[in-house]
Structure 1
């Protein structure tokens, strides 16, 4: 309104941007370019018609979007895949970010001629692997589970280190008398508070989703999303890492038995896409092409990108995963998959708001480095995984999900479960399987085809079972479906 733009015009532009963003995802796979790059391009193109230079608003939208994206990524994370890679992921999220930031800082000092504090600030901004970029690029790709889990856990947990380094450098630049020891202490406090509150809110969210009977099924996804926002807000209020807390709470929610599970997952996925489109378009609007694509920025951005991609990230990966059972091929892939995305651009708005000298140059070069990372690394990550033989067979996913519309008031749930090849009940007929009283197999999806269940239907590995059961039987049904065959007995037989 202050710029003479009516509310109707803003709503119209928002609708156009979202439609263009959604259609962009369709073309991104055909062009072999990550959709987030096209989102930024859309924003830059719209900048020719819309003037936007409010870094504060862009930062607020960016943080809100990251909360939603991390929440969606967390609930999709399988704890059984994540648990074995916690140590290497945390090593990459801490020591890896420090090493990457340090090498990039040295390069910036030599290339851009900044002072040491400003150079370290630049390195801190660009040092972390971006969750939005990693989740977007790896979604639907059957990368080796251990590697995919490592990247997702690293990108979901390394934001606190990047944010801490960025804020610490800004404080040291603007307040020369700042104590390094107090800054380091605040980092550990942020991590500790983030972990504790993330665990607490995750448990509370699971309890609330399962105990509170809402009148409308559509309220359950809203309720879950509200917990994500609440987790971030309260954690930040107590000076903890809100992003880390959101990611941890989401992992707990996603790996628990919760009411309206599929609705929550689908809603979160759609909302995450909407926020991702909005965030990258807004960040694209914040850039002025005539300032970004100058000879100096192009040359500096390319040089820093080469050092970041080919030197800083590989060195960080190799040093951070010493004696952690990753072979040479896996380390090469982890090095190449250190994608940069929204987080560096959002962090690059911090110096702008703090009026740091050279902040506009920092923002433009960071933006250009992110573009190169997404274009070069993001568009080739799958091909590299295939050449390194790190891609498994394509996993089938159900084309439909079933849920009870009245689940909020009914004492029953529709459970979906994918049968593993080594499950004890695989090869048995439904009539011979000791399902708990009151439970009923409603549908079986096999190779994208519906198999009407009868007593003589024999289960196969890869089948998707939809079982209607009383809530009190959920645990026993999960145990029955997930129980593995006794290999010793099988071999003797």
Structure 2
């Protein structure tokens, strides 16, 4: 009994240390210019059986389960943070990249894989499908805070959030073709429309119902609202997947709708899911790192083939897919070059590479090792140079003023009030005005002004300056009126 408890305690200790190392890795990744996911993977490889030997892990089924669960959480958080006003103008190119772009990438990489790996055409297409999609976790984390032009950032985020279903559909379909002696190609085509169409429909329905339920229910604790929202994400994925449609697409659409609604405890929901998504990323990448045996990965055959396929993917397949799928969609040559370069591969290809392993396909270990190497190459080369390329191509924008956030007012009772955090923009008409001259709606009070990091106690004579942060106490019944007023002020 004592030995069993000691084993559990040891596992908890190891989990705590891995989380601490993962969090610290995000800090060092910024200084080193290396995407955090690479450091997470390295941590997993170091503590694995081929590294320090603390953990022996070769369970592809468990890694697949953790990977898909983490992708659901990451896509949900990414959808919550996506502003519909930003992606609405770029829906057409984003969807084109998420569908046609994946197809072109798959076909181009398949040719190289067929020649290089001496596999069948279907196996070559399977390899192309596995690496065909960009990764939401990698793209969201790398682009955050880079001041890339909003149009380009929105396009890349929308593409990465919506192209996973296409890659998963192609991967599963091609595995079925390899396993079934006489597959029905018409059935596969109809399955595609079913998965995408029903996934989109259920995502919309779950998004609307979730938003309504979150705003209507009166929970005893504010901490339950983020859990309630996340439960709807898991529900949207599972129900959609169980009817044979794309659960990942449903999750992203659900999150997109929830994130663009005026929610009760909105800030708590966003912050909780942001932190939980980081935990999911750390856990997923460490487990995927554990699944790799460096002695198998870093052989001359894998390195050589991996480098060649990485070159084809980065410099041939991705640019071809971008330039073809965005014809006449308003992107200049430099923007297309940048979109091509920012097509990061990450967890999704590695998770998809576990699918052939779980069904026992021939060459499945070869697929996994080369895919893993391609992902490492992509994240190290592309992920660490995105900011540099954006600046060199002149595709960065001015420092953005952060949008409004709401901080829920917590007290012993259920206070019917919130605090709105508002950053003053340069073109706002409340700029350079004294507070007593601003006609805020009823039941609104300016609690504090933060200017250049200093706290200013507001008074009627306080004059508003650019980039001031106002903390505004507002009755919940007046919140919509206040937000409308502030947005109207910015547009005048």
User: The TM-score by the shorter chain falls in which range?
Assistant: over 0.9
CA separation in 1, counterparts of 2:74 and 2:340?
A: 23
CA separation in 1, counterparts of 2:491 and 2:240?
A: 45
The structural deviation recorded for 1:401 is 7.4
Contact 1:209 1:258 in 2 (8 A): yes
- Number of the residue aligned with 1:25: 26
Contact 2:82 2:256 in 1 (8 A): yes
Contact 1:446 1:462 in 2 (8 A): yes
Any unmatched runs of 5+ in structure 1? 488-493
1:391-449 CA distance string (max 9 Å, x none): 12333659997431149822222223333333344443332333222222222333333
Contact 2:86 2:150 in 1 (8 A): yes
CA RMSD of superposed structures (Å): 2.1
CA separation in 2, counterparts of 1:407 and 1:104?
A: 60
- Number of the residue aligned with 2:320: 315
The TM-score normalised by the length of structure 1 is 0.94
Contact 1:444 1:451 in 2 (8 A): yes
- Number of the residue aligned with 1:205: 210
The structural deviation recorded for 1:288 is 0.5
Partner residue of 1:478 out of 478, 483, 488? 483
Any unmatched runs of 5+ in structure 2? none
Sort the Cα spacing of 1:191 and 1:462 in 2 relative to 1 into closer, same or farther, 3 A.
farther
- Number of the residue aligned with 1:188: 193
CA separation in 1, counterparts of 2:245 and 2:405?
A: 39
The structural deviation recorded for 1:130 is 0.5
The structural deviation recorded for 1:486 is 7.2
Matched length:
485
- Number of the residue aligned with 1:377: 382
Q: Which moved more, 1:103-112 or 1:14-23?
A: 14-23
Sort the Cα spacing of 1:390 and 1:486 in 2 relative to 1 into closer, same or farther, 3 A.
closer
Secondary structure at 1:391's aligned position in 2? Answer: coil
Contact 2:408 2:417 in 1 (8 A): no
Sort the Cα spacing of 1:463 and 1:257 in 2 relative to 1 into closer, same or farther, 3 A.
farther
Sort the Cα spacing of 1:277 and 1:485 in 2 relative to 1 into closer, same or farther, 3 A.
closer
- Runs of 4+ displaced beyond 4 Å: 396-402, 484-487
Is 2:151 the partner of 1:160? no
- Number of the residue aligned with 1:175: 180
Contact 2:404 2:421 in 1 (8 A): no
The structural deviation recorded for 1:192 is 1.4
CA separation in 1, counterparts of 2:395 and 2:467?
A: 21
Is 2:441 the partner of 1:436? yes
- Number of the residue aligned with 2:149: 144
CA separation in 1, counterparts of 2:314 and 2:355?
A: 24
The structural deviation recorded for 1:196 is 1.6
Contact 1:407 1:413 in 2 (8 A): no
- Number of the residue aligned with 1:330: 335
CA separation in 1, counterparts of 2:350 and 2:57?
A: 15
Contact 1:44 1:281 in 2 (8 A): yes
- Number of the residue aligned with 1:250: 255
The TM-score normalised by the length of structure 2 is 0.94
Secondary structure at 1:441's aligned position in 2? Answer: strand
Partner residue of 1:241 out of 223, 240, 246? 246
Is 2:406 the partner of 1:409? no
CA separation in 2, counterparts of 1:475 and 1:252?
A: 18
Sort the Cα spacing of 1:485 and 1:31 in 2 relative to 1 into closer, same or farther, 3 A.
closer
- Number of the residue aligned with 2:291: 286
CA separation in 1, counterparts of 2:58 and 2:235?
A: 29
Contact 2:98 2:133 in 1 (8 A): yes
The structural deviation recorded for 1:377 is 0.4
